[in-house]
């Protein structure tokens, strides 16, 4: 896709919500019988320490609902000013209807408010931001953008390559008209690499059966079934460090900014080593590339970029930033914008009351 400028649009606030359960990497390593030396190397390179995972009765929809209510309360926002609701997720409550429709009802939004899901993962926040910002001028109202997944439920606990990585979260952002504030987008895909991150079974192509649920061991000793998330780590790493530096250079040329002019580069928090490699190739100072989210929360899919913003920035702190996500699809997306968030609390740990 060619680069696109969306004029007079910005983000009012961001809230990220994580579930209460904490999984420590030391426990994961013990469960998977990873020896001490190997566990130490993995922890240091990937940046793993702990991750928040949702209990059986908590979904991305639940986390997203809490994030929306907290965001609108924190902004003292009138619900009648919302013109559209977008939910970016790959772990919806149902195959149909979409999460956005259910959340529309839970928030008691007006019938005039449209709602739909976008099926994307790690690049999903920037893709969703593009769709939401593009709607603002025609709607004349604000757009509520929700991103979130519970990928910890999609991995096999015996899969060494994936079961140690994923944390669950949902974020809500309110997008509005902001005079003289422009967003510079660049969105891209390479569908030839779709098998690098995939859940093979469970869809129309290969429906779930008793056979698809059978565990198999791959050549690297990872155990999973066709119903489980499969991620080919080497291919994903090569994809990320190949595409991201070029994508960021392209975007900075488009918006006319240099590394020195950007306050923060918020990358998808996939892996600390990946972020360090990208930063090194672009000669970005370490302090401009927040990378603690993977250590403290795990890989949160589409919620990792907004979570990084919540951890790093304070409300009403104006900064020039680049947001960039990359992953499933394969897809990647970047945006340059100025953030001056009215409401930007630290991530909220939420405990669901007993039903």
Among left, alpha and beta (phi > 0; psi -120 to 50; other), residue 106 is alpha
Q: Which of 68, 98, 122, 255 is catalytic?
A: 122
Eight-state DSSP code of residue 233: H
Distance CA 305, CA 12 (A): 16
The answer to whether 97 and 126 are in contact (CB under 8 A) is no
Distance CA 11, CA 144 (A): 10
Q: Let me know if 299 is a catalytic residue.
A: yes
The answer to whether 171 and 16 are in contact (CB under 8 A) is yes
Cβ neighbours of 76 (radius 10 Å): 8
Q: Peptide bond before 97: cis, by omega within 30 degrees of 0? A: yes
Q: Let me know if 222 is a catalytic residue.
A: no
Which of 83, 102, 105 shows the shortest CA–CA distance to 94?
Answer: 102
Q: Which of 99, 156, 268, 307 is catalytic?
A: 268
Q: Let me know if 268 is a catalytic residue.
A: yes
Q: Phi, psi (5° rounding) for residue 309?
A: -65, -45
Please give the span between the terminal C-alpha atoms of the chain, in angstroms, as a whole number: 46
214-228 burial code (b ≥16 CB/10 A, e <16): eeeeeeeebbbbbbb
Q: Which of 156, 299, 310, 337 is catalytic?
A: 299
Which of 188, 83, 215 shows the shortest CA–CA distance to 138?
Answer: 83
Say if residue 101 is exposed, middle or buried (CB neighbours under 10 Å; 0-12, 13-18, 19+): middle
Which residues are catalytically annotated?
Answer: 122, 268, 299
């Amino acid at each position: 896709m060619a680069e696109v400028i969306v004029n007079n649009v910005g983000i009012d606030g961001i809230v990220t919500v994580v579930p209460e359960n904490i999984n420590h990497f030391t426990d994961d390593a013990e469960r998977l019988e990873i020896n001490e030396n190997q566990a130490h190397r993995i922890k240091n390179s990937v940046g793993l320490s702990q991750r928040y995972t949702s209990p059986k009765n908590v979904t991305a929809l639940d986390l997203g609902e809490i994030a929306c209510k907290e965001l609108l309360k924190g902004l003292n926002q009138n619900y009648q000013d919302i013109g559209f609701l977008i939910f970016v997720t790959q772990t919806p409550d149902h195959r149909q209807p979409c999460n956005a429709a259910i959340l529309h009802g839970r928030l008691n939004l007006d019938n005039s408010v449209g709602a739909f899901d976008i099926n994307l993962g790690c690049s999903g926040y920037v893709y969703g931001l593009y769709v939401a910002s593009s709607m603002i001028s025609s709607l004349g109202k604000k757009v509520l953008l929700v991103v979130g997944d519970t990928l910890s439920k999609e991995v096999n606990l015996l899969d060494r390559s994936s079961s140690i990585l994923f944390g669950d979260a949902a974020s809500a952002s309110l997008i509005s008209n902001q005079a003289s504030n422009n967003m510079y987008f660049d969105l891209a895909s390479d569908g030839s690499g779709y098998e690098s991150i995939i859940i093979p079974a469970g869809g129309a192509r290969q429906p779930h059966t008793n056979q698809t649920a059978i565990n198999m061991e791959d050549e690297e000793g990872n155990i999973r079934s066709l119903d489980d998330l499969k991620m080919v780590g080497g291919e994903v790493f090569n994809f990320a460090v190949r595409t991201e530096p070029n994508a960021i250079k392209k975007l900075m040329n488009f918006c006319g900014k240099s590394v020195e002019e950007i306050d923060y580069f918020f990358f998808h928090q996939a892996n600390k080593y990946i972020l360090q490699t990208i930063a090194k190739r672009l000669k970005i100072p370490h302090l401009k590339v927040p990378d603690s989210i993977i250590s403290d929360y795990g890989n949160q899919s589409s919620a990792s970029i907004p979570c990084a913003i919540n951890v790093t920035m304070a409300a009403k702190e104006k900064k020039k930033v680049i947001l960039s996500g990359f992953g499933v699809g394969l897809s990647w997306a970047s945006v340059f914008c100025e953030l001056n968030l009215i409401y930007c609390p630290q991530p909220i740990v939420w405990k669901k009351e007993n039903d």
